[in-house]
Amino acid sequence: MDNRPIGIFDSGLGGLTGLKALRRFLPEENIVYFADSGRVPYGEKTRVQLRGMARQNLSFLSGFGVKAILIACGTLSSNAGDILAEWPVPAVGVLSSSADWMSRLEGDSPVAVIATAASISSGAYQRALEAACPGRRVLGIPCPDFVPLIESGHTDASDPLVQDAVRRYLQPAREADAGVLLLGCTHYGIIEEAITDFLGSEVTLVSAAESGAAALCSQLLKRKMTGGSGNIRYYTSGDPAVFAEAASLFLGCREEEIHAEAVPPQPIPEG
């Protein structure tokens, strides 16, 4: 039995989709969750900045003696995959795990991936999906307004601001008759209902967060590194009260159950 915690980090609330999935797969694991809300959104940062931030966040969680880390952030996974692969603590990003998941899906309809502007401009998701889904057209669609909307509390499928953003960004996927949509940013699972309402239930949605959690779970089971007491510790570089309120709504628990500790935002690397 390995009682060391699992580390999870994201730019904010999005990684909670990964935490939720991991709790479903391995409910007894201890978890340290870091929401880097003080530096959100990541999608507007340069590649150099993102790579430096990846190292900072990995180092922060490694300081808790974690046995593995889930990088529940598509933006960092698509811009710093080599850093994750070389990190001394086993680190799973959502990009490679999502591509592996997509490779198992049958059909020949176009596939689309929605993510932050930085993720799509890197081309990493598109290349990974082209390799995973040979012969299928791949559309990469940046959705820069989604994360700020979600972080500011606009998540309901009936919210006009959410509906407008979904309509603006996902029209190309509808026009291309995409049969599969990868939610390449973990935040996007929070507005999954609005996305399905627009595209229709016949379009298969694949969650990068769930793919990453499943991949990490598989690694830990193979290495016999599971075990814990189900304890979760939350840290945020933003406002702990704001994080706790939003996290409790998404996780379906009381706000007082989310004991988020504040940590100062680290300087954004130059570049």
73, 133, 143, 217: which one is catalytic? 73
Helix (H, G, I), strand (E, B) or coil at 100: helix
Per DSSP, helices labelled H in the chain are 16-25, 47-62, 74-79, 81-86, 94-103, 117-122, 124-132, 146-151, 160-175, 192-199, 208-222, 240-251
Give the list of residues 6+ apart from residue 202 with CB closer than 8 angstroms, or none: 179
Q: Does a cis peptide bond (omega within 30 degrees of 0) precede residue 41? A: yes
Is 143 labeled as catalytic in the residue annotation?
no
Interior CA angle at 132 toward 131 and 134, to 5°?
A: 65
DSSP states along 127-187 = HHHHHHSTTS-EEEEE-TTHHHHHHTT---TT-HHHHHHHHHHHHHHHHTT-SEEEE-SGG
The residue type found at 205 is L
CA distance 170 to 15: 22
How far apart are the C-alpha atoms of 147 and 119, rounded to whole Å? 13
Residue 253 a catalytic site member: no
Q: Which of 133, 143, 185, 217 is catalytic?
A: 185
What does each C-alpha distance from 191 to 91, 96, 188 come to in angstroms? Answer: 26, 23, 6
Which conformational region is residue 235 in: left (phi greater than 0), alpha (psi within -120 to 50 degrees), or beta? beta
**Catalytic residue annotation:** 73, 185
